[in-house]
Structure 1
Amino acid sequence: MNSTQEMETDYPDYYYNNNQDSIADPVTPSLTDRDSSYIYLAIINVIVFILGVAGNGLVIWIAGFKLRKSVNTTLYLSLAVSDFLFCSFLPFGVVKLVKDDWIFGLHMCKFTSFVMFLNMFSSIFLLVIISVDRCVVVMFPVWAQNKRSVKKASVIVVLAWIISAVCGSPSVFIREVTFLQEKNVCYNNYPEGSQSVIVSFRFIVGFLVPFLIIISCYLFIILKLKINQSANSKKPFKIMTALIVTFFICWLPFHIFALMELNNYKNKSILQTGQVLGAIFATANSCMNPFLYAFMGKDFKRKCSAIISKIENAIEDEGRSTIRATSITTSGEKRHSTAV
């Protein structure tokens, strides 16, 4: 087998890149270190699975069935679906960790990896859409009030999912299963010269460019609201800000260590540890959003027990308060309705 046939022998195969030099020459840690890593990762995956499925399921129920349909609920519902889908596949990684063997076959090897990158691309694309939507509401409030609609938002969301599926599709073609050292291994079998293209594409399209767009939207929003002296002017964007910052913190290590591996970083121990931490942070991101919805609202200390109500308010009020704050900054314009 050639040197491009790299694999993961020590950590959850389906949700992370490579941490070995070659499938023919795996670097296996000591039994104690390996077992310790397995235990920690399995526990983290179980926790994220429970919190992610329960939390995102609650958001889906509230945004999809309890709240009236709006642009805002459509976007946050789609984000919750993305995270729920990813968390639903975490048990495959837990079983792999416990058994130290990939028992689910080739198709699930490909599909679980695809779901991970589908979640990554769809999450960041949806955050871009949310940021652009907020920027449009602030910069062109009259146009936004008249032209924004649930139907248009739904079309944009569907397009985002289609593009995300295309961007995540390389996993379907490079993931393979082989039998090595008396166990099945789900690994990345990169065609010659393709690893640098795939890793760079994921970083640029799935991280760098979206964040440049998001930062640009923020600059426009800040400039527009600068003349507004009201303390309420910053409130409409706190949940959006929290979601974006959380995504940035959780996914940046993943991309950093993927690029380090691509550039043949020499210290394999540091690289391996970093990749595991990157995987942990990336996985944890999928269970955090519901708690941001619940805990970023008003009077958390007084109403922390009313989590369902807080999630409803966070999702529904985000759009209403944006238009309310924007109307203050636009002199001579009519006061707009708070409906989104």
Structure 2
Amino acid sequence: MVVRRAGGTVIMSINTSSVCPNDSTGYNSNIFTVSMYSGIFIVGLIFNLTALAFFFSCTKSRTQTIVYMTNLAIADTLLILTLPMRIYYYMGFGGLPQWLCDGLGLVLKANMYGSIFLLTCICFDRCMAVCFPMSEHVNQGRKKAPLVCVGIWVLTFGASLPIYFSKRKQVHYTNCFGNLPVYATQPIVVLPTLFVGFGIPLVIMLVCSWGLVRAVRQSTVAQTNLVDRRKIQRMIAASLFIFLFSFLPYHATLALLSLYKGNITCPMLSVYHYSVMVACLNTVLDPVAYYFTTETFRKNVEVGVVQRMFPLNSQSSEVNCGSRANNS
């Protein structure tokens, strides 16, 4: 890292090769990285476009869950569309302008946090629907799902744009996607990111998951053979596990880099890049956990191999384009 002043403005020049001398060109032709991003792009794009085709076909009645899942699929799709340039970069090709690298990084991070907030909303909405099914106040609040989604889009991109422009003015990079997350690890940025972008959603998901499990256990219907209580509990646990698996490594790495930003090592930089890859993997896991395991989706969409790969069948009727939508 080289710091110099230009017209009274501090400009930080980041040279990744100084951190990892073996990568003097700044381009990591890692077969594993290219293979993973390629797989995420192909599978994730197919899964999410299939989900979007189904969700947009539900025009007669849209439940709150469909609203959240539609926006989640859109966010995941936008994130996926940034991956071809990452594949191009990690294959060892150069010539990518820095404004494109920064812009694609902005879209990826904004949609990653959009996914986090939308997953949290889905969990919270399910908890409210199950724990307070007769509350008029709760039902009226759940109907504001479209406004909540608009707020999430404004928040994620609105918070990312100032960071993007500040970074472009103050930081000069020598590489593209191989750079250190210098601005993101600043205390003024990393603390709100860890707290608002991950900590609060995680707490909400933990509390709501506990509430859902408790409600299922106490339900009189769950005591009968009409509902597979263990299957519902496994799906709740799977959703929480996917959230932690996808986003905990990235935020833990950000915290680590913020603590050791003056002494970043090559292994730490590699861990950061792999944590970004794992976060992108969430775009494949979301359809598995939230779309293809719902009963109505499986009954109305001919997904062939996907149905055989994921035979679990949710007992929830949340994603429903039929007559029961009015009960949501």
TM over 0.5: yes
> Are 1:175 and 1:188, in contact at CA under 8 Å, matched by a contact in 2?
no
| 2:196 matched residue in structure 1 | 205
- Counterpart mapping for 1:1-340 below 5 A: 1-2=2-3, 5=12, 7=14, 9=16, 25-29=18-22, 35=28, 37=30, 39-66=31-58, 68-106=61-99, 108-143=100-135, 147-148=139-140, 152-176=144-168, 178=172, 180=174, 187=179, 195-228=186-219, 229-230=223-224, 231-233=227-229, 235=231, 239=235, 241-264=237-260, 268-293=265-290, 296=293, 305=304, 307=306, 317-319=316-318, 339-340=327-328
What SS does the corresponding residue of 1:169 show, helix, strand or coil? helix
State the percentage of identical aligned residues. 19
**Paired residue type of 1:75:** Y
State the alpha-carbon separation in 2 of the partners of residues 307 and 284 from structure 1: 17
Q: CA 1:141/1:168 → structure 2, altered by over 3 Å: closer, same or farther? A: same
Kindly indicate whether the alpha-carbon contact (under 8 Å) linking 2:27 and 2:92 is maintained by their aligned counterparts in 1: no
CA distance change for structure 1 residues 166 and 320 in 2, over 3 Å: closer, same or farther?
closer
Q: Which amino acid is the alignment partner of residue 275 of structure 1? A: Y
1:267, 1:146 → 2: CA distance?
Answer: 48
Question: 1:269 Cα shift?
Answer: 3.7
Change (3 A) 1:134 1:235: farther
Q: TM-score, structure 1 length as denominator?
A: 0.73
Provide the rounded CA distance (Å) in 2 between the counterparts of 1:74 and 1:185.
Answer: 33
CA positional deviation for 1:104: 3.3
State the distance in 2 between where 1:295 and 1:316 align.
Answer: 13
The one-letter code matched in structure 2 to 1:319 is E
Match of 1:13 in 2: none
* Backbone CA RMSD of aligned residues: 4.0
Matched length: 303
Residue 33 of structure 1: how far off its partner (Å): 12
5+ unaligned residues in a row in structure 1: which ranges? 11-24, 322-335
Question: Could you tell me which amino acid in structure 2 is paired with residue 29 of structure 1?
Answer: N
Q: Deviations over 1:45-100 (max 9, x none)?
A: 11111111111111011011247421121111111111000001111112222344
Distance across 2 between alignment mates of 1:35 and 1:189: 17
Unmatched tracts of structure 2, length 5 or more: 5-10
Contact 2:79 2:111 in 1 (8 A): yes
- The amino acid of 1:285's aligned partner reads N
For 2:33 and 2:68, locate their aligned partners in 1 and report how far apart those are by CA, in whole Å: 31
The Cα of 1:142 is off from its aligned counterpart by 1.1
TM-score for the superposition, normalised by structure 2: 0.76
| Contact persistence 1:237–1:318 (CA under 8 A) | no
CA deviations over 1:291-337 (Å, ceiling 9, x no partner): 33465457x9xx983647999x979944279xxxxxxxxxxxxxx99
Pick closer, same or farther for the CA change 1:189–1:252 going to 2, 3 Å: closer
